[in-house]
Amino acid sequence: KAIFEHHNQSVGRPKQGYQKGEMVAVKINMNSTNRPERTNNYTDVAPQTVYAVIEQLVKYVGVPEDKILVYDGKRYIYNAVTRKVWNDFKDVRFIQEKEFTDEQKHPIYGDHSRLEMPRWVKAIAYSNGIDYEKASQIPEQVREATYIINLAMLKCHSYPYSNMEKGDEGQTAVTMIGKNHFGSILGPSELHGVMNTNRDAKPKTYSPLVDLAASSALGRKTILYMLDGLYCARKHSSYAIHFPNAPFFNKIYPYANPEWPSCILASLDGVALDSVGLDILYSQTKNNIDVDNQNRPWMLIRENADDYLHEMANAENPPSGTKYIQNGKPLASLGVHEHWDSDESRRYSRNLDPTKGKGIELIYNKIS
C-alpha cells in the first residue's frame, strides 16, 4: 500500500493506495524467447520472480487477478511463466507479440482467453526530434494501465568476443531497467543504431532510454523497479553464468554446479537500481577467466555503459546537451546515479554518510 501511496502522491494524485478498477502492468524481460518452447538454458526473468510479484499484488494489495497484465510486447511468454502463475491466479492476463500455440492453452480454461496480442498505438515522443514510425508505438493495453512494475534482469547485453558482435548484438552494454522497455515498443530496431556503441552511441550522446523512462504513457507510471538476478547472463541471449566475486563467491567450475547469483534487487528509483546493477555486473568481470575460451573473461562490460544513467540523472542538463522534453515540458532528473566506493565494501554516499548523503543507500540482506 505504501508504494502505491508514494507513487500517487509523487505524480500529483491523492495519497492513496490501489483503487478499484485500476490496471497494473508488469513488464518482464523475455528477450531470449524467439520460439514458443524453451529449447536451451538461456536466461529470462524467472517464473518464481514473476509469481512472487503477482502473489504480492493479489494477496496483499488486493488487485483483482484480471486487472494484472504481464507482458513482453516483442517476445513469447513461456509456459513455465504462465502456468506457474495460472495454477494459483487463473485470471491474470499475459501479452506476447507472437501467435499463440496449442501448448500455450490455459491449464484450467483450456483456451487462450488469458493471452493477448498487443494493440499497437502511437504514444511515445522522442527528444531527438525524430518521429519514429514503430518505436513510437506501445500496446494500447499498457497505455491504459494506471501503474507499471518494471521487472527487468540483472544482465549484460553484449559480449565483445561474440561472433555476432558486429551486428545488432553490440547495441549497448547492459539490459536492465532502462532497456527493458525495448520490449514495450513495436519497433526497437529503429533505435538500435542510436544505442549501438559500434555505430551512433558515442560518449555523451542522446539516449532514447531517457524518453522511454520519462513518458507519461510508459515509464512515468512505474511504481516499483526490480532486477531479477536469480540467474544472470553475459549477453542478451545467453546461458546463465556464475558470479565468482563478493558477495556471491560462486564456483566457476564445474559449470553444472548449484551456485548461482540468486539475488533480487528492488528500488523506487530506476536510475539508482541500474547504477547498482552495473556495479555488480562490472565487479564480476574481474578474476573471471574462461580457460576453455582462450582465457578470455566470462563476462565483459562494453564502453559507455553508464552514459544513459548520466543522461537520466542529469536530464535537465545532460552531458549530451540534448533538450529532453515530454508533454511539452523540459525534464528534471529521473533519479540518482553514482558508483560504489569499492567492490569489497559496496558503499554509496548514503551508506558512507547516513546523515548528509544524498545519493544511493544499498541495503543488503542475505537470506540463508
Q: Residue 189: how many CA atoms within 13 Å on its side-chain side?
A: 3
Look at residue 39 and tell me whether its pLDDT is greater than 90: no
3-state secondary structure of 95: strand
What's the grid cell of residue 71?
507482458
3-state secondary structure of 208: helix
Residue with cell 524467439: 34
Provide the percentage of residues in the chain whose pLDDT is more than 90: 81
CA geometry: angle 45, 48, 53, nearest 5 deg: 85
Q: Please, are residues 333 and 316 in contact by the beta-carbon 8 Å criterion?
A: yes
- The pLDDT assigned to 167 comes to 65
Beta-carbon contacts of 208 under 8 Å, excluding residues fewer than 6 positions away, are 126, 128, 135, 191, 194, 195
Look at residue 169 and tell me whether its pLDDT is greater than 80: no
Look at residue 163 and tell me whether its pLDDT is greater than 60: yes
Q: Please, are residues 30 and 155 in contact by the beta-carbon 8 Å criterion?
A: no
Give the least confident one: 52-56, 188-192, 341-345.
188-192
The pTM for the full model equals 0.96
- The pLDDT assigned to 302 comes to 84
Look at residue 170 and tell me whether its pLDDT is greater than 60: no
Nearest to 29 by CA among 82, 98, 77: 77
Provide the percentage of residues in the chain whose pLDDT is more than 70: 97
Tell which phi-psi region holds residue 335, choosing left (phi > 0), alpha (psi between -120 and 50) or beta.
Answer: left
In the chain, alpha helices (H): 2-10, 47-55, 79-86, 140-143, 177-180, 192-195, 208-214, 270-283, 307-313, 349-352
Chain segment 111-130, per-residue pLDDT in tens: 999 999 999 999 999 999 99
Question: Mean pLDDT for the chain?
Answer: 94
Give the span between the Cα atoms of 52 and 84, in whole angstroms.
10
Across 40-45, average pLDDT: 91
Across 33-44, average pLDDT: 82
Chain segment 249-277, per-residue pLDDT in tens: 999 888 899 999 999 999 999 999 999 99
Give the span between the Cα atoms of 271 and 252, in whole angstroms.
30
- The pLDDT assigned to 211 comes to 99
Chain segment 321-358, per-residue pLDDT in tens: 999 999 999 999 999 999 999 999 999 999 999 999 99
Give the span between the Cα atoms of 192 and 197, in whole angstroms.
10
Look at residue 168 and tell me whether its pLDDT is greater than 70: no
Across 93-103, average pLDDT: 94
What are the residue ranges spanned by the domains of the chain?
Answer: 19-337, 344-368
